[in-house]
Homo-oligomer: A and B are copies of this chain.
Amino acid sequence: MLESLKEEVFQANLELKRQNVVIYTWGNVSGITEDRKYMVIKPSGIAYEKMKAEDMVVVELETGKVADGKWNPSSDTETHLVLYRHFPTLRGVVHTHSTYAVSFAQAGKAIKALGTTHADYFYGDIPCTRALREEEVKEAYERNTGNVIVECIEELKLDPLAVPGIIVKNHGPFAYGNSPAKAVENAVVLEKAAEMAFRTLLLNPNASMEQYILDKHYFRKHGKNAYYGQKSQ
């Protein structure tokens, strides 16, 4: 089981590169075992070109200790762990520095739901967390990054599979899903949504979308009344 998860996480990391949402080693994808005991994540600072499935690092969910693998795990490992621990529906987590999403993070602004492209994947605005406080940064930066994400999702009463991404202030986007591949897809769409929202706001700072359009598009693709795609898929 771990071998196939390593392969899945490895492929999801390569897909990040193919979709042009990372340069160099600026991104990481993780997945989790069925029993939620182990997380598999990209090693830290290894070039995508040289990476193999066997380089993926296995980390114990509860302790954060490396259970298997010769490399250090991604420096963002603690953030991923916090998300898996708090949200039992998540099976894949992605972090990137994709440029439009980072621009919203640096501006400290949510990516507003302004159209159906956004609504097809995200049921509402993609929120922006508060900045970490100085003591949070110093004490346990990566863990507290996870904690402000959790705090933001809970304050807004969001289902992380219904709004499967967030931006961390002054930092960048995290996306998630029910598999590593789906989390990557959400990270790619989050970047597209940011690109579209950026230009929309320059054309019309007061742009908005009615709730009933958001509802329609989201539920066309999600939930028991969804009718997009093929039944057998």
Q: How far is the CB of A50 from chain B (nearest CB, A)?
A: 11
Q: CB distance B229 to A103 under 8 Å?
A: no
> Which of B46, B203, B207 is the one whose CB lies under 8 Å from A201?
B203
- Chain A interface extent, by class: 35 or more
Q: CB distance A213 to B170 under 8 Å?
A: yes
Contacts of A141 in B (CB 8 A): 216, 220
Interface positions, chain A 101-116, Cβ under 8 Å from B, are: 102-109, 114-116
Give Cα A172–Cα B189 distance, bound, in whole angstroms.
15
Give Cα A134–Cα B215 distance, bound, in whole angstroms.
10
Which one of A75, A97, A170 has the greatest number of beta carbons of chain B within 10 Å? A170
Given the interface pairs A45-B233, A132-B213, A192-B23, the reply to whether A203 lies near B104 with Cβ below 8 Å is yes
Q: CB distance B115 to A45 under 8 Å?
A: no
Verify if A71 is at the interface (C-beta below 8 Å from B).
yes
Verify if A197 is at the interface (C-beta below 8 Å from B).
yes
The digit string for A85-120, where 1 denotes a CB below 8 A from any CB of B, is 000000000000101101111111100001111000
Give Cα A124–Cα B198 distance, bound, in whole angstroms.
26
Q: How far is the CB of A117 from chain B (nearest CB, A)?
A: 5
Contacts of A100 in B (CB 8 A): 199
Contacts of A33 in B (CB 8 A): none
> Which of B137, B170, B195, B213 is the one whose CB lies under 8 Å from A114?
B170
Q: CB distance A115 to B170 under 8 Å?
A: yes
Contacts of A132 in B (CB 8 A): 213
Contacts of A225 in B (CB 8 A): none
Give Cα A155–Cα B96 distance, bound, in whole angstroms.
35
Give Cα A75–Cα B229 distance, bound, in whole angstroms.
7
Q: CB distance A207 to B115 under 8 Å?
A: no
Q: How far is the CB of A19 from chain B (nearest CB, A)?
A: 8
> Which of B107, B115, B138, B200 is the one whose CB lies under 8 Å from A204?
B107
